Structure 1
Amino acid sequence: MKLGFAGLGRMGRPMAANLIAAAFEVTLWNRSPDKAVGLGVAVADSPRALSDSADVIVTMLADDAASETVHFGPDGLFAGGASVFLEMGTVSPDHIAALARATDAQVIDAPVSGSTPQAETGTLKIMVGANEDEIAPLRPVLDAMGDKIDVMGGQGQAAVMKLAVNMLIHAMNQTLAEALALTDAAGLDRERAFDVIAGSAAGAPMLGYRRGLYLDETAHDVTFALSLARKDLDIATALADRLGVAMPQAQVNRHRLAEAESHGFGDRDMAAIVPHERGER
């Protein structure tokens, strides 16, 4: 099976590296070709050329707009010959449906939960919008990037599930920021307060692997940009509006992220909501 991988950002590059390490024949494409340096495999000069080189295309793209640019047009992925498109970025279910309508190839949404450390170690949690028979040939590909595969059954269902997961992550991100703002204002030691929270009933896996970011976000590399967190909630709240579902908490969290973005925090890690809620600018 020949693979093409499009999108070598913070998550995509280590995911592609794991596919290469698993001995798949992989060709790469990225809008900035320098991101492929050091991976030791062929680099296509266009999305179409990438699709012509592969049976299966894996994409890890930031949003619907980026995905649309890469898939469509005379030099887009759909102009090439790949037969399967595994869409692993966080995009809307409507976009997945639009991709499927535009091609005779198989389009499968397979977004991931986890951050760059999990992408590097191949321990992402992958949700797949297909049934078991459809993903059976792709299991080795998925297993090279993740250690848990949730088969959601139908196209677009994984995209919805990923939005639901990220809604909870961004709610925790916001509430943690407020909790630390409170303990800071009361004079508690920040590390001690964080560790008590992480060890309590409110603890969650992401508090453990993101501890350093929450204690001093500027001292660490960005693993999940704040602007992408806001984008996730844009998509989730738009979907909720279309389905007639009230999501007041998600709307508040989206507003706080948008406000932080307007104050220059957008390119920083989503943990920058902590200094934002402390009033830093």
Structure 2
Amino acid sequence: MLIGFAGLGRMGRPMASHLAWSGHTVLAYDPMTTQAPERVAVAASMTELAQAQLTISMLPDGATTRAFVMNGLAAASPGHLHIVMGTVGPELVRELATGAPAEVIDAPVSGSVSMAEAGTITTMVGASPEQFETARPVLDAMTAAQFHCGPVGSGSTAKLAVNAVLAALSQGVAEGLLIAEAGGLDLATFYAVLRNSAAGAPYVGYKERAFLTPDTAEVAAPISLIRKDVGLALDLARARHLSLPASEAVLDVLDEATANGLGQQDMAQVLTALRMRNGLLPSA
């Protein structure tokens, strides 16, 4: 199948590569780069992607995604299916599904860059049953698990809920490390305890380097993107008159982290932000 892929960032690049290696013909576009993975062709403009039977966007925000879907797919053939895989929130996805020049479903992913490279990320899909069955073989080439969460927008809702948990978990780990540090514990020893305790979720295990030796760890998910996702989750909650005190507290710390120049650092660097808040490190 000819697949158009918009967005060759840190997550999109390995995802497009998996599609190509699985046998699909991939035509990609990213305004920030002309370098594509092996077997992936580069389009001269985003409108060229509309010639494909199916397109995917893995773009950083809602405005960029809206522009691609509404403008880049203006010449798409009837029945063209577009999969929004970036995290943009359910309201925008539903808006696009009703007004775009193509069928639109959402399938945001959960996992790190290294998991995208390994093809072990998970996707949460909002689509009709028929659309899900059409998209599933394509999604299977990039992801280890595909969950049909409900109609369009449901995948984005699931992604925001997952990232609200991850953001709170990151802050919880950071606060635990500060307590251990304040009590004079060796942090590597404490982290081993944490990893093997009742709180030792898989996330705690694979984020050890990011928390303890951030200078040698890859940036799996930057604070700026997690701050965006938590903000979208709170927008959804407020629209439904829900109070989420943990997410609100997390957002305050993420805002501080961003203001202190940590926006492009891994989300584990909420630990640095909390050290700054407590006067253990100078603020920017």
TM-score after normalising by structure 2:
0.93
Partner residue, 1:70: 68
Partner residue, 2:59: 61
1:21 is the counterpart of 2:18: no
Paired letter, 1:62: P
For residues 188 and 35 of structure 2, what CA distance do their matches in structure 1 show? Answer: 35
Secondary structure of 1:70 counterpart: helix
For residues 258 and 40 of structure 2, what CA distance do their matches in structure 1 show? Answer: 37
- Cα pair distance change 1:202/1:219, threshold 3 Å: same
Partner residue, 1:30: 30
Taking only aligned residues, the RMSD between alpha carbons, in angstroms, comes to 1.5
Match of 1:110 among 91, 107, 128: 107
Deviation readout 1:160-187 (Å, 9 max, x if unpaired)? 1110111000000111111111111222
1:262 is the counterpart of 2:259: yes
Deviating above 6 A after TM superposition, structure 1's stretches of 4 or more consecutive aligned residues are: none
Which stretches in structure 2 are left out of the alignment for 5+ residues?
none
Counting matched residue pairs gives: 277
Q: How far is the alpha carbon of 1:69 from its aligned partner?
A: 2.8
TM-score after normalising by structure 1:
0.94
The 5-angstrom pairing of residues 1-281 of structure 1 reads: 1-36=1-36, 38-52=37-51, 54-73=52-71, 76-81=72-77, 83-279=80-276, 280=281, 281=283
Secondary structure of 1:127 counterpart: strand
For residues 229 and 122 of structure 1, what CA distance do their matches in structure 2 show? Answer: 21
For residues 85 and 107 of structure 1, what CA distance do their matches in structure 2 show? Answer: 5
For residues 116 and 192 of structure 2, what CA distance do their matches in structure 1 show? Answer: 25
Q: Is the 8 A contact 1:131 1:152 kept in 2?
A: no
Paired letter, 1:55: Q
Deviation readout 1:36-93 (Å, 9 max, x if unpaired)? 2x423211111111122x11111111121221232233xx233444701011111111
Q: How far is the alpha carbon of 1:32 from its aligned partner?
A: 1.4
